[in-house]
Amino acid sequence: MKEDKASSTAYTVLHGILHTANNPKLTNLVDKEIINACTKILSATSQGRKRLDELKSPIKRKLLPFLEWLLMPGITLNYILRKKFIEEKVLEAIENGTTQIINIGAGFDTLAWRLSKKYPTLNFIEIDHPATSKDKTKAIFNTDSISSNLHFIAADLSEISLDSVLQDSKEFDATQKTLYICEGVLMYLDEIHVSGLFDSLRNLTGKDTIFIFSCLEPPQSSKNNIRVLLYFYLKLKNERYLWYKKDTQLPDFIKKHNYKLLEMADSQIYREKYLPIDYDGTLHQGEYVVVVKVD
């Protein structure tokens, strides 16, 4: 990502959500509130408006599934299913007494923005790269008001530790029962930094802290349907995936860091929970959303 530009992935995710929401077979998966929030964010920048224009073009709408097939089959639907599952887990945690939600590398995710209005007594914090955070807050301010319990922290976590960012923030309260989200981020970190993040979260807010994160199967895994072409594309962009864990390795990794595994979801779980019985489209394989708790 260029230092002065928002993450292209952040735009791609919203673009994919809106594209999938236009599918008559899948439109019921995306609430109007989410569609409106995604549209507001994209409408605020030239790059976002370009993505919205692409959704209006019949040719480009047909091209997207082909590009997806070349790189990551089923990924656009996966954005919706993954976020739907995460939102359910967050709402369950709130019902069970969680009072602080922190999204690390939030991108253009709309969850904290939407929930901060519904739960005015809870504390919501988003942490992301300054360029991405700037575009997002600009979009929200242009179209809506930001609740006083929603806070944005602009920080480049490749240059400053999460511990420092939160401990220096007056919005962060280490005494609150906290849930952290790290969606679509950990694969860009090496194992040392992933392990460090697990340790940091445990030390920051202690016992009963909940951590929701996504991870990938290794490229050579038979459970992974990411195409070789994607890895070549990432290399051209000077990006690459660094951290993988097989589903069979995750329990030991989690236990090693003094967390308890609560739940793990993959495409099969999503299919059973959210999709029509007769849905025969391709689902993204080899990614897991994992819910853990400090033991």
Distance (Å, whole) CA 249 – CA 230: 24
- Three-state secondary-structure class, residue 164: helix
**pLDDT at residue 2, as a whole number:** 52
Looking only at the bridges linking them, the beta strands covering 287-294 and 259-265 are: antiparallel
Tell me, what's the pLDDT at 246? Answer: 96
In the predicted structure, residue 86 carries a pLDDT above the cut 90: yes
CA dist 266 → 81, 123, 214, 226 (Å): 9, 29, 10, 14
Residue 147 identity: S
Instruction: Label the pairing between strands 178-182 and 100-104.
Output: parallel
Cα distances from 86 to residues 51, 133, 152, 210, 290, in angstroms, run 25, 21, 20, 12, 9
Q: Which residues pair with 290 in a beta bridge?
A: 213, 264
Query: In this predicted structure, which of 67-81, 127-141, 175-189 has the lowest mean pLDDT?
Result: 127-141
Full set of structural domains in the chain with CATH: 8-294 (3.40.50.150)
Give the pLDDT confidence of 240-288 residue by residue, as tens digits: 899 999 999 999 999 999 999 999 999 999 999 999 998 999 999 999 9
Task: Supply the mean pLDDT for the chain.
Answer: 93
Confidence label for 6 from pLDDT (cuts 50, 70 and 90): confident
pLDDT above 70: residue 3: no
pLDDT of residue 262: 98
Residue 50, number of CB atoms within 10 A of its CB: 12
Please tell me the predicted confidence (pLDDT) of residue 140.
85
